[in-house]
A and B are shown apart, each in its own frame.
Chain A
Amino acid sequence: MFILIDALDLVTPDPGLFIWTVFIFLVVFFILWKFAFGPISKALGDREKGIEEALQSAVRAKEEMANMKADNERILNEAREERSKMLREAKEAKEQIIAEAREKANTEYNRIVEEAQQQIDNQRMAALIDIKNQVGNMVLEVSEKVLRRELQDRNAQEAYTRSLVDEIKVN
């Protein structure tokens, strides 16, 4: 019974203490709100945001790096291709030049040969004409001689003509 009465004292609110508690708590709350938990909460949020951004930018940097690497590889490949293409082209050009030169040489050769042939032909012709002329002259001379001898002896004339003709045939 006494315990109950004493305990009743324990659970009886004290108005003075109530006022003090509410007052002090609210003062503490407002001070901490303005000068501690507000700024702390903001700082924590900012830091978390900063960390998140840093992580994201790291991921982005990694991606960029990968992209750059891919780009480099692509450029390298292109260069390599270009080089081989150039080499191929050079080779082709070389071959073409050689072929052209060969062709040109061929045609020149042919032309020179042809010209030489023609010249030879011409000279041969000239020679033939010359020979013909000379033969004609000789024939004329012979004929003249024959004609002169014919006037002396007919038989001898004929024999001589025959011998002359034989000589011509031999030639």
Chain B
Amino acid sequence: MKKIIQVVLSAILLLSAGSLMAAEEGAYNPKDFALHHIADANTWHIVGNVSIPLPVIVYHKEDGLAIFLSNKLPEAHHAEEVETEMAHEEHGMDMGKVEEGMEQEHPDMEAAHHEPASYKGYVMVHDRVARADGTAFLDLSVTKNVATLILTALLLIWIFTSVARAYARRPGQAPKGLQSLMEPLIIFVRDDVVKPNLGDNTERFLPYMLTLFFFIWFANMLGLIPLISNPNLTGNITVTMALSVLTFILTNVNGTKDYWMHILWPPGVPLWVKIILVPIEILGIFIKPFALMIRLFANITAGHIIILSLVGLIFIFGNAGESLGGGLGGALVAVPFTIFMSFLELLVAFLQAFIFVMLSALFISLAMEKHEHHHEEAVHH
């Protein structure tokens, strides 16, 4: 009990320290706050000023491969501010000139300015790694999202291999423990999501569909845990894109002759309709996975933004930590709404995983469908 109180108290202290920092930095900006939280980052920000540095893996054409921890990177944002302030004092620039100076973001200039303040030619800009000279580079860093990916992967592997072991240990018997928690979900995915679409091919696609479902669901749920900084994994367009690309590949690799015929030369349609239909069908190949990508991304991101906006209300009402009463008033409004939204997001987390997998199964089944009426037509002609 004592320990819990200690943890809670220290959390409150850290939070207030964070908000004080925010107050020092300037007016609270809810937009930046929200967008910063849902964006990827090269550090894992826990609470207040506490953050875990993550490994940065970058490749640059000239400098080659570099691997280091992100806490070695200097903050370019701060450095820039300091320098412009210094420049301001030295040269007595007016406001217009400062703005002009801000606009002068030529790579060469930046490189000249930031050369000493960079680590191996890299700096940190808004928690993301960037080249000090602004040139292009390949960023394979373990970012917050990559770390969450790994966490999700380990969680999935740990849970489902132990469930599989339970099946091996007690063959043919009723499920027990974690096994009985997961079995209805596995059966739900198999019988209600995959089987109605894929029918006889269920066994073939089941491992992929199950992995996809649990991967998305677990990632969605991890994003709802506040103290690990709401990793916005499935609300990241790159992640949803990667998943949709896999479904896209599976769909088209398994496409039958009928499927391609329907797209490239729709049967039983006059020529002028074909001219209109074929481009639409070709676009359709890409629109289907694109819709998958956008749907998951938008739903999860929207949920995060709503929760962050509600939390942001506290800081707006509290005038960024200056007014305790306002902050409490804001909390009074925001906390019930946030709790409600969190429950809603729990539902959305499951629902979106379900929809993504169901549509994946549907798209694959549509591509694998054999159209019987072809043969009938062939007989008639």
Q: Is B301 in contact with A41, judged by CB distance below 8 angstroms?
A: no
Q: Is A11 in contact with B172, judged by CB distance below 8 angstroms?
A: no
Docked pose: A27 CA to B149 CA in angstroms:
11
Determine if A28 is an interface residue (Cβ-Cβ < 8 Å): yes
For B211, give the chain A residue with the smallest CB separation: A29
Shortest distance from the beta carbon of B144 to any chain A beta carbon, whole Å: 10
Q: Is B210 in contact with A44, judged by CB distance below 8 angstroms?
A: no
Determine if B264 is an interface residue (Cβ-Cβ < 8 Å): no
Q: Given A13-B237, A25-B243, A28-B156, does the pair A43, B171 have CB atoms closer than 8 Å?
A: yes
Partner of A22, one of B40, B156, B167, B242: B242
Q: Given A25-B215, A32-B210, A47-B172, does the pair A39, B167 have CB atoms closer than 8 Å?
A: yes
Q: Is A44 in contact with B186, judged by CB distance below 8 angstroms?
A: yes
Docked pose: A113 CA to B237 CA in angstroms:
134
Give residues 1-41 of A contacting B (CB, 8 Å): 2-3, 6-7, 9-22, 24-29, 31-33, 35-41
**Contact partners of A18 in chain B: CB under 8 A:** 238, 241-242
**Contact partners of A13 in chain B: CB under 8 A:** 237-238, 241
Give residues 69-103 of A contacting B (CB, 8 Å): none
Q: Is B238 in contact with A14, judged by CB distance below 8 angstroms?
A: yes
**Contact partners of B297 in chain A: CB under 8 A:** 11
Chain B residues proximal to chain A, CB less than 8 Å: 31-32, 35, 38-40, 138-143, 145-146, 149-150, 152-153, 156-157, 160-161, 163-164, 167-168, 171-173, 183, 186-187, 190, 203, 206-208, 210-211, 215, 236-239, 241-243, 245-246, 297, 301
Docked pose: A46 CA to B171 CA in angstroms:
9
Partner of A14, one of B139, B208, B210: B139
Determine if A50 is an interface residue (Cβ-Cβ < 8 Å): yes
Shortest distance from the beta carbon of A32 to any chain B beta carbon, whole Å: 5
Q: Is A41 in contact with B206, judged by CB distance below 8 angstroms?
A: yes
Shortest distance from the beta carbon of A29 to any chain B beta carbon, whole Å: 5
Chain A residues proximal to chain B, CB less than 8 Å: 2-3, 6-7, 9-22, 24-29, 31-33, 35-41, 43-44, 46-47, 50
Q: Is A35 in contact with B161, judged by CB distance below 8 angstroms?
A: yes
**Contact partners of A20 in chain B: CB under 8 A:** 140, 142, 145-146, 149
User: Beyond A10-B39, A25-B153: 16 further Cβ-contacts under 8 Å?
Assistant: A9-B39, A10-B35, A10-B38, A14-B139, A14-B236, A15-B138, A22-B246, A27-B153, A32-B157, A32-B161, A33-B208, A36-B160, A37-B160, A40-B167, A41-B203, A46-B172
Q: Counting chain A CB atoms within 10 Å of each CB, which of B39, B173, B236 scores highest?
A: B236
In the A-B complex, the 10 residue pairs with the smallest Cβ-Cβ separation, listed nearest first, are A36-B160, A21-B242, A43-B167, A33-B207, A37-B207, A16-B139, A17-B238, A36-B164, A28-B153, A13-B238
Shortest distance from the beta carbon of A26 to any chain B beta carbon, whole Å: 8
Partner of B172, one of A12, A17, A50: A50
For B214, give the chain A residue with the smallest CB separation: A32
**Contact partners of B140 in chain A: CB under 8 A:** 16, 19-20
Docked pose: A38 CA to B164 CA in angstroms:
9
**Contact partners of B171 in chain A: CB under 8 A:** 43, 46-47
Can you give 24 A-B contacts (C-beta < 8 A)? Answer: A7-B35, A9-B35, A13-B237, A14-B139, A16-B143, A17-B40, A17-B143, A17-B238, A21-B238, A25-B153, A25-B243, A26-B246, A28-B152, A32-B211, A33-B207, A33-B208, A37-B186, A37-B211, A39-B164, A40-B186, A43-B171, A44-B187, A44-B190, A47-B173
